[in-house]
């Protein structure tokens, strides 16, 4: 018998907790971008994910043009710094001038095309106009105040790569190179529901009074807001009672026509936690214990669609409001981005910052502490880090990613991830 085989009467060791990294790796290995590309007007493409590389249809700028109001000249005519030239033409933006005769100047405005023959622009502040003549009190260098054709973008150059989430800047760039519409991935279809007999919707408590033992369904607001930020098409099935039957029914319905089902609550192993048996009845499920605080339990699996052969992904978040919020930011966010077709690194950007507090004893799990940037450029810690204390998420600017077992002393450098980095 080998030394590593346990005696037959010993209980099996509890499964070790997954690290955040291990959980992420498993999730991302399962995520494939959704099929389905649609062509949408560039004006309506904000927040969508580009499906194919885009090349410019033109040189930007499309022709040499002036970057100043002034006079287009031949630099050779102006070398003495006091040239007197006849103003033979006027070229506002949008019109095309005539070839510039030697010894003449063209009145020109910002954005107007440089006429053939001119090789510099002298800004109007360095010129004196009198009648149809101008005195040019500056000897320009060749090309002065001229924006060259193709200086920003050459025709045919790739301006946006597939897998880019389109923000206003990307839309402006696409429009500047003549792209009236863009191929984007179809929106991710996400179904959500919230388990718990204690849940009540704000405004719906009987008689306006929250019943004893009841709580408001805050996760519905947090999770829907997050999904909206990520441009998902959301189907919200509301509150589902704590029963196997109801949970299974909600799952079947939610699998239809959706890519992903997200739930909150019911992922612990209490008698009232029905997510595990319900998902197992209609699909496949892994119950994870992740070495993360808050947010230890997370369920990941798939629910079969009844008609077709396919299935919808399933992610069961913990019920505690801060846990479900943070679990979304850490695990659902990167998974969603991959399903949406976002390419490139998914890690949120983090900053090394100074802790202006101490945490005498680090948790044995990887803790994500709600903290706020103070006026001195350091971080303050929210005093109550409880997994039900939503105030911490409103007060805080982001999360300190604190490794397992690490105590923090005032002045230490910690890893800070702003909430803004986690919501796109
Ligand atoms: P559970 O994961 O179902 O055991 O729930 C853990 C804790 O989170 C309990 O205190 C629940 O009352 C609370 N909770 C569950 N679902 C929600 C929700 N949708 N909104 C706010 N709190 C919730
Ligand atoms: Mg519950």
Q: Read off the pLDDT of residues 208-266 as tens digits, 9 standing for 90 and up.
A: 999 999 999 999 999 999 999 999 999 999 999 999 999 999 999 999 999 999 999 99
DSSP annotation string for 212-279: TT-EE-HHHHHHHHHHHHTT-EEEEEEEE-SSHHHHHHHHHHHHTT-SEEEEES--SSSTT--HHHHH
Q: In the beta sheet, which residues pair with residue 247?
A: none
- pLDDT over 90, % of the chain: 92
**Which of 21-35, 231-245, 260-274, 340-354 has the weakest average pLDDT?**
260-274
Asked whether residue 386 carries a pLDDT value surpassing 70, the answer given is yes
pLDDT beyond 70 at 1 = no
What is the rounded end-to-end Cα distance, in angstroms, of the chain? Answer: 54
Q: Is 412 in the pocket of ligand 1 (CB under 6 A)?
A: no
Residue 7's pLDDT is 56
User: Which residue among 194, 264, 266, 317 has the greatest number of ligand 1 atoms within 8 angstroms of its CB, and so is best to mutate?
Assistant: 264
Residue 57 · residue 173 · CB < 8 Å: no
pTM: 0.89
- DSSP class per residue in 32-96: -PPS-EEEEEGGG-TT-BB-S-EE-SS-BSSS-EESSSEEEE-GGGGTTS-EEEEEEEEE-TT--
Residue corresponding to tokens 């399962």: 30
pLDDT of residue 379: 98
Q: Kindly report the average pLDDT of the chain as a whole number.
A: 95
Q: Quickly state the pLDDT bin for 16 (edges 50, 70, 90).
A: confident
Higher pLDDT, 26 or 14: 26
**For ligand 1, is residue 194 a contact (CB within 6 Å)?**
yes
Cα radius of gyration rounded to whole Å, the chain: 31
Cα 249 from chain centre: 33
Long-range Cβ pairs for the range 207-214 (8 Å, 24+): none
Q: Which residues of 394-419 are buried (b: 16+ CB within 10 A; e: fewer)?
A: eebbbbbbbebeeebeeebebebbbe
pLDDT at 9 over 90: no
Contact 371, 399 (CB under 8 A): yes
Query: Residue 153: pLDDT above 50?
Result: yes
Whether the CB-CB separation of 115 and 106 falls below 8 Å is answered with yes
Q: Residue 242 CA: which ligand is closest?
A: 2
Helix (H, G, I), strand (E, B) or coil at 386: coil
Confidence of residue 5 (pLDDT cuts 50, 70, 90): low
- To test the pocket of ligand 1, the residue of 226, 319, 325, 328 to mutate (highest count of ligand atoms within 8 Å of its CB) is 319
To the nearest 10 degrees (0 to 180), the angle between helices 244-255 and 275-282 is 50
Q: How many CB atoms lie within 10 A of CB 135?
A: 14
CB 67 within 8 A of CB 215: no
Q: 274 CA to middle of ligand 2, Å?
A: 9
Alpha helices in 271-361 (DSSP H): 275-282, 321-327, 333-339
Question: What mean pLDDT is predicted for residues 261-283?
Answer: 93
Tokens standing for residue 303: 């629910």
- pLDDT mean over 173-193: 97
State yes or no: pLDDT of 70 exceeds 50.
yes
Whole-number Å distance, alpha carbon 326 to ligand 1 midpoint, is 14
- Is 268's C-beta closer than 6 angstroms to any atom of ligand 1? yes
Q: What is the pLDDT of residues 372-385, one digit of tens each?
A: 999 999 999 999 99
Task: Determine the pLDDT at residue 272.
Answer: 86
215 lines ligand 1 (CB under 6 A): yes
Q: Distance from CA of residue 9 to its chain's centroid?
A: 52
288-317: per-residue pLDDT in tens?
999 999 989 999 999 999 877 799 999 999
Supply the pLDDT for residue 2.
44
Q: How far apart are CA 286 and CA 299, in angstroms?
A: 6
**With 70 as the cut, is the pLDDT of residue 100 above it?**
yes
| Pick from 51, 34, 60, 56: nearest CA to 161 | 51
């Amino acid at each position: 018998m080998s030394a590593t085989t346990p005696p037959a009467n010993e209980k099996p060791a509890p499964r070790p907790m997954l690290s955040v990294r291990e959980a992420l790796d498993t999730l991302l290995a399962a995520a494939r971008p959704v099929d389905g590309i649609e062509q949408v007007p560039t004006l309506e493409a904000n927040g969508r994910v580009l499906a194919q590389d885009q090349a410019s249809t033109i040189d930007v700028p499309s022709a040499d043009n002036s970057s100043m109001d002034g006079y287009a000249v031949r630099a050779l005519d102006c070398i003495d710094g006091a040239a007197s030239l006849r103003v033979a033409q006027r070229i506002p933006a949008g019109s095309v001038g005539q070839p510039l005769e030697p010894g003449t100047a063209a009145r020109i405005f910002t954005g107007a095309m440089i006429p053939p023959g001119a090789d510099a622009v002298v800004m109007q502040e360095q010129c004196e106009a009198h009648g149809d003549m101008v005195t040019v009190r500056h000897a320009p260098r060749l090309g002065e105040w001229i924006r060259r054709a193709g200086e920003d973008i050459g025709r045919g150059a790739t301006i946006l790569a597939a897998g880019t989430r389109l923000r206003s800047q990307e839309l402006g760039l696409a429009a500047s190179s003549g792209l009236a519409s863009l191929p984007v991935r179809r929106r991710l279809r996400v179904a959500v529901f919230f388990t718990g007999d204690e849940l009540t919707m704000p405004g719906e408590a009987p008689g306006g009074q929250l019943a004893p033992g009841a709580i408001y369904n805050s996760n519905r607001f947090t999770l829907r807001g997050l999904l909206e930020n990520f441009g998902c098409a959301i189907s919200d099935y509301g509150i589902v009672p704590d029963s196997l039957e109801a949970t299974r029914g909600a799952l079947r319905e939610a699998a239809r026509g959706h890519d992903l089902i997200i739930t909150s609550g019911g992922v612990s192993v209490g008698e009232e936690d029905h997510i595990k048996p319900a998902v197992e009845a209609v699909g496949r499920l892994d119950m994870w214990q992740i070495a993360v605080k808050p947010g230890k339990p997370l369920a990941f699996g798939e629910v079969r669609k009844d008609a077709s052969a396919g299935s919808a992904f399933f992610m069961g978040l913990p019920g505690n409001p801060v846990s479900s919020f943070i679990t979304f930011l850490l695990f659902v966010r990167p998974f969603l981005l991959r399903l949406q077709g976002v390419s490139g690194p998914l890690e949120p950007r983090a900053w090394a910052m100074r802790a202006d507090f101490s945490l005498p004893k680090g948790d044995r799990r990887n803790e994500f502490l709600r903290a706020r940037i103070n006026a001195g450029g350091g971080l303050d810690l929210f005093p109550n880090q409880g997994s039900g204390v939503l105030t911490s998420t409103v007060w805080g600017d982001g999360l300190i990613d604190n490794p397992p077992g690490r105590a923090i002393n005032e002045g230490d450098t910690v890893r800070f991830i702003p909430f803004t980095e986690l919501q796109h």
